[in-house]
């Protein structure tokens, strides 16, 4: 019986340790996330032409707003993962047992929505800035929890309108997620930002009537933190409630993408045509060099695909001046087999076959 009790205690303890929020965050500073952010239209279809890129970097362990925090620096809105721009924002995370706290700036999440801007609610949104227990890793799957809720009143035309903004969270069952960095068993959360009209019927407490909510699904992987976030587009029409307001809040899919590759210029000769040369060595294991020529300033996209036509690596995606260049591809984490490198530039497409032998 004692052995059984000991085993049960160990199992329970092991589960609690596995749920610790800190085990989901990278251990060492310098860790970087490379994201591709694709906007969604009002029907939740991806708008590929609007895709931007983002790089987040675990910069330091600091004390922020009274709590020890992991500081993440952010640069976003890039047209290419290779674009050289400064970091312009920060995020902060604190870990307490099985809970991950985030210093939320709800103004950043909800600002830019036409209706909220028009009713002068910006200062109210700024009042939300604080630490919140967002990621509750040990929360019962399927159970909804309130992260923050606040009431206010606004004036619309001549009417005074009571409103409530609420952010809720829900941990779903763990889910496997395939990414460019491999497959992770993730903690899966659904968060909702809800704006409600408060119906006042004395002596009853205010009754919230949802005007709209913005749902987003987040995947958190051990030692990697956030690896995907999917915010659905929301169409809002308040005419039926007496407000002549209708608009769409665009969604976005944030997912891991390939890290930037540095290209090296070879000599000073200006080539006479576009060319993608055969990689060398070929066959190779695990690294090979790819050379290409650009006769004039052009946008170059260089990608690698497997035998099934699935993109496995993006080597370069940026505006490039005229010249001859080379880039290295390290396939250490890929299985042996046939791969294809494809270059798109100057309205042309070039493909070369490569053989990885392991």
Task: Return the domain boundaries, the chain.
Answer: 2-256, 264-356
Is residue 116 pLDDT above 70, yes or no? no
Mean pLDDT computed over 287-304:
93
**Residue 3: what pLDDT?**
43
**Do you find a cis peptide bond into 283, omega within 30 degrees of 0?**
yes
Ranking 91-105, 145-159, 202-216 by mean pLDDT, the lowest is: 145-159
Would you give the distance in Å from CA 178 to the centre of its chain?
Answer: 14
- Position 122 scores a pLDDT of 66
Check whether 115 has a pLDDT greater than 90.
no
pLDDT at 9: 35
What value does the mean pLDDT take over residues 105-129? 65
Beta carbons of 254 and 229 less than 8 angstroms apart: yes
Share of residues in the chain with pLDDT > 70 (%):
89
- Give the C-alpha distances (Å, rounded to integers) separating 204 from 152, 161, 163, 331: 18, 17, 16, 65
* pLDDT band at residue 226 using 50, 70 and 90 as cut-offs: very high
Please give the pLDDT value at position 277.
97
SS3 19: helix
Summarize the confidence of residues 344-353 as an average pLDDT.
Answer: 96
Contact (CB, 8 A) for 65 and 105: no
Give the angle 298-303-306 at the CA atoms, nearest 5°: 160
With a pLDDT cut of 90, the percent of the chain lying above it is 62
Tell me what pLDDT residue 258 has: 81
Q: pTM for the whole thing? A: 0.76
The pLDDT tens digits for 4-23 are 433 333 333 334 344 799 99
DSSP per residue over 303-357, as a string? Answer: EEEETTS-EEEEEEEEEE-SEEEEEEEE-TTS-SEEEEEEEEETTEEEEEEEEE-
If you ran DSSP here, which 8-state letter would residue 241 be given? G
Residue 102 has pLDDT above 70, yes or no: yes
Q: Which residue has the higher pLDDT, 142 or 154?
A: 142
Considering only residues 188 and 153, tell me which one the structure prediction assigns the higher pLDDT. Answer: 188
C-beta pairs of 4-8 under 8 Å, 24+ apart in sequence: none
User: Average pLDDT of the chain?
Assistant: 88
For residue 175, pLDDT over 80 is answered with yes
pLDDT at 14: 36
What kind and span of H or E run contains 114? helix 114-118
* pLDDT band at residue 118 using 50, 70 and 90 as cut-offs: low
CATH of 2-256, one of 3.30.70, 2.60.40, 2.40.360, 2.40.128: 2.40.360
- Cβ neighbours of residue 86 closer than 8 Å, sequence gap 6 or more: 75
Give the DSSP letter of residue 225.
E
What is the Cα–Cα distance from 179 to 51, expressed in whole angstroms?
Answer: 17
- Predicted confidence at residue 1, as pLDDT, reads 44
The sheet with strand 348-356 has its strands ordered as 311-320, 298-306, 337-345, 348-356
> What is the reported pLDDT for 13?
37
Q: Is the pLDDT of residue 219 over 50?
A: yes
What is the model's pLDDT at position 281? Answer: 97
Confirm if 350 and 276 have CB atoms less than 8 A apart: yes
Between residues 141 and 243, the one the model is more confident about: 141
CATH of domain 264-356: 2.60.40.1930
CB 326 within 8 A of CB 279: no
Q: What digits encode the pLDDT tens for the residues 229-264?
A: 999 999 888 777 677 778 888 999 999 988 877 788
The mean per-residue pLDDT over the stretch 36-48 comes to 94
């Amino acid at each position: 019986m004692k052995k059984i009790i000991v085993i049960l205690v160990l199992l329970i303890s092991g589960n609690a340790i596995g749920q610790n929020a800190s085990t989901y965050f990278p251990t060492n500073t310098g860790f970087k996330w490379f994201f591709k952010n694709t906007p969604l239209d009002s029907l939740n279809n991806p708008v590929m032409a609007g895709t931007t890129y983002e790089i987040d970097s675990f910069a330091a362990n600091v004390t922020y707003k009274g709590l020890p925090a992991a500081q993440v620096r952010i640069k976003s809105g890039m047209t290419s993962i290779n674009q050289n721009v400064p970091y312009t924002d920060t995020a902060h995370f604190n870990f307490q047992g099985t809970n991950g706290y985030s210093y939320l700036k709800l103004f950043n999440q909800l600002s830019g929505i036409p209706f909220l801007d028009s009713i002068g609610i910006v200062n109210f949104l700024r009042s939300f800035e604080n630490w919140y227990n967002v990621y509750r890793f040990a929360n019962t799957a399927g159970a909804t929890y309130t992260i923050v809720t606040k009431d206010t009143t606004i004036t619309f035309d001549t009417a005074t309108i009571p409103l409530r903004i609420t952010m809720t969270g829900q941990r779903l069952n763990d889910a496997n997620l395939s990414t460019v960095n491999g497959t992770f068993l993730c903690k899966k959360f659904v968060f909702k930002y809800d704006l409600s009209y408060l119906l006042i019927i004395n002596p009853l407490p205010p009754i919230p009537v949802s005007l709209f909510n913005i749902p987003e699904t987040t995947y958190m992987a051990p030692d990697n933190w956030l690896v995907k976030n999917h915010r659905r587009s929301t169409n809002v029409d308040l005419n039926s409630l007496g407000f002549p307001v209708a608009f769409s809040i665009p969604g976005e899919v944030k997912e891991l993408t390939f890290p930037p590759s540095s290209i090296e210029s070879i000599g000073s000769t200006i080539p006479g045509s576009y060319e993608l040369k055969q990689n060398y060595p070929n066959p190779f294991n695990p690294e090979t060099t790819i050379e290409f020529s650009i006769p004039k300033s052009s946008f170059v996209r260089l990608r690698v695909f497997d035998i099934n036509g699935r993109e496995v690596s993006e080597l370069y995606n940026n505006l490039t001046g005229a010249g001859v260049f080379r880039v290295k591809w390290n396939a250490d984490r890929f299985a042996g087999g046939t791969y294809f490198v494809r270059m798109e530039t100057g309205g042309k497409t070039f493909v070369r076959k490569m053989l990885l032998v392991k």
